[in-house]
Structure 1
Amino acid sequence: MANKYVNFISDEHLLTCIENLHKSYLKAKKKISKKSFYTNKVDTIKLTFDSKFNDIKEDDLIQSEILRQIDKSINNSIGTFHEHILGGIKGYEVGNLSGFDIKAEDDTLFADIKNKHNTMNSSSAEALFQKLARYADDYKKARCYWVQILAKGSFNEHWKGDINGKEYSHSRVFKISGDQFYALLSGQDDALFQLYKALPKAIEDYLKNYKSESIVKENLALEEITFETEKSKRSILDQITFENYSYYLGFDKL
């Protein structure tokens, strides 16, 4: 029977990948209490400008700031989602903290996956090149890839050049964009496009069958802050400022 979603992995595998990512979202939402929201000092001066210049209500503004914090922790999970999708293609497997993200079962390919092209500084890039080169030296038939899921172009080319003042190149170390890597592993040029088109329906189908084991409070930090404002009679921004900077000169008067 033909697959419902994409041609290169099973429907069951795609839904499992979506389920794992959903769990990461729920976990991230659960972690954002008032205490964790305050872990990195909140820039309430910037938030004041955001509120006034963009005509955003304070509670909406704080909720969007909370979502921004959640988004930071979700970015890594999106990379893991792609690893698991690609690991479901016949002949390939996920690294599971083995030093690589994806490998061919016959050791002819090793890859490190980054969700965005700009997530590494020069030291990280140098360490990654050296790691991929070691795999290429250890496995003489292996081609080794730095995969950029969201790249600035579509490419599959040798990764060579100056990194941290040193010249790097290797005959079997490459950098490759997400679309080309999906095509390489699946044998289908439009594999990543298939995934993109299938996701809304697949997520919808997953959520229809999803049974929540517990209620996740998505607005816990905002609820906790609002509860304090009811006692203090401060605005939400004043409350956050007081709780973050009451030790600053004059701020204890809020």
Structure 2
Amino acid sequence: MAIKLLIIIRMANKYVNFITDEHLLFCIENLHKAYLRAKNNITKKNFYSNKVDTIKLTFDSKFNDINEENLIQSEILRQIDKSINNSIGTFHEQILGGIEGFEVGNLSGFDVKADDDTLFADIKNKHNTMNSSSSEALFQKLARYADDYKKAKCYWVQILAKNSFNELWKGEINGKEYSHSRVYKISGDQFYALLSGEQDALLQLYKALPVAINDYLNSIEHNHTIIENSAIDEIKLQTVTSNKSILDQITFDNYNYYLGFDKL
């Protein structure tokens, strides 16, 4: 009876078979809010927070034949994209944590775990986001979970991986040999399949997203008063009184304490 009920529930889903429509829309909503926060957060102060490489921007402008305003807008979008990449990882955590029998870590040291402590996972959106030191620290963390929970399999999940795989994670990291009988590395498609029991789970999600996103956007009120990326407007306002070019203004704001730069 339980199996028949599960089949009926899955058939009733509009988007994917392995999580409810409500949960998928909830995850999309959270990601949409992250996009809005990222776009609304690029004030001049935040744009300058990591120091702008105006020498590189000068080359970009000349070699790629881009005017200064468009160049700065592109740099702002790059900063937004960097912020959003982190939120995409959170999106996958929330999706996977919504599968029956699993939960999200919520800053507990793992990203997703099984309710019965038989699985722990650390999720990275891309395969190349870690250096050797962070790889070593991650292996050690997963090995500790495996040692503390004797029935647990522990996974380094690479959502966007070079291949499809599910294998023991072993090898040399920082000159040391690492291996554990229950520490694995796994690609995103295989991990989605493992948790959901659906071999094409990640494909289901990919195909459902355009429809689900449209449904979500059609269900909300659009606030047209939102001001996005105020940095460029703030900088342009300064140039009115300083008579500097946009790039010179950014250079002055960031490096006026360098020798001679206060005379720009």
TM-score, scaled to structure 2: 0.91
Q: Which residue of structure 1 lines up, in the alignment, with residue 57 of structure 2?
A: 47
Q: Aligned partner of 1:186: which letter?
A: S
CA distance in 1, matches of 2:54, 2:147: 52
Which secondary structure does the structure 2 equivalent of 1:154 belong to? coil
Deviation at 1:98? 1.4
Unaligned runs of 5+ in 2: 1-10
Share of identical aligned residues, percent? Answer: 80
The alignment of Structure 1 onto Structure 2 pairs a total of residues equal to 254
Residue in structure 2 matching 1:174, options 166, 172, 184:
184
1:232 equivalenced with 2:232 (yes/no): no
Q: Which residue of structure 1 lines up, in the alignment, with residue 4 of structure 2?
A: none
CA distance in 1, matches of 2:254, 2:117: 52
Residue in structure 2 matching 1:98, options 108, 115, 131:
108
Unaligned runs of 5+ in 1: none
Q: Which residue of structure 1 lines up, in the alignment, with residue 258 of structure 2?
A: 248
**Superposed CA RMSD:** 1.6
Q: Aligned partner of 1:116: which letter?
A: K
Q: Which residue of structure 2 lines up, in the alignment, with residue 63 of structure 1?
A: 73
Which secondary structure does the structure 2 equivalent of 1:146 belong to? strand
Which secondary structure does the structure 2 equivalent of 1:77 belong to? helix
**In the TM superposition, what are the counterparts of 1:7-86 in structure 2 within 5 Å?**
7-86=17-96
Q: Any conservation in 2 of the 1:108–1:142 contact (CA below 8 Å)?
A: yes
CA distance in 2, matches of 1:9, 1:78: 18
Q: Which residue of structure 2 lines up, in the alignment, with residue 153 of structure 1?
A: 163
Q: Aligned partner of 1:117: which letter?
A: H
Q: Which residue of structure 2 lines up, in the alignment, with residue 117 of structure 1?
A: 127
Deviation at 1:214? 8.0
CA distance in 2, matches of 1:63, 1:163: 39
CA distance in 2, matches of 1:208, 1:233: 45
Which secondary structure does the structure 1 equivalent of 2:12 belong to? coil
TM-score, scaled to structure 1: 0.94
CA distance in 2, matches of 1:57, 1:200: 34
Q: Which residue of structure 2 lines up, in the alignment, with residue 203 of structure 1?
A: 213
Residue in structure 2 matching 1:132, options 115, 121, 142:
142
Q: Any conservation in 2 of the 1:29–1:216 contact (CA below 8 Å)?
A: no
1:252/1:131 CA distance change after superposition, 3 Å: closer
Deviations 1:7-58 (A, max 9, x none): 1111110110011111111112222111111112211121121112112221
Which secondary structure does the structure 2 equivalent of 1:106 belong to? coil
Q: Which residue of structure 1 lines up, in the alignment, with residue 6 of structure 2?
A: none
- Structure 1 segments, 4+ long, off by >4 Å, are none
1:170/1:253 CA distance change after superposition, 3 Å: same
1:251/1:171 CA distance change after superposition, 3 Å: same
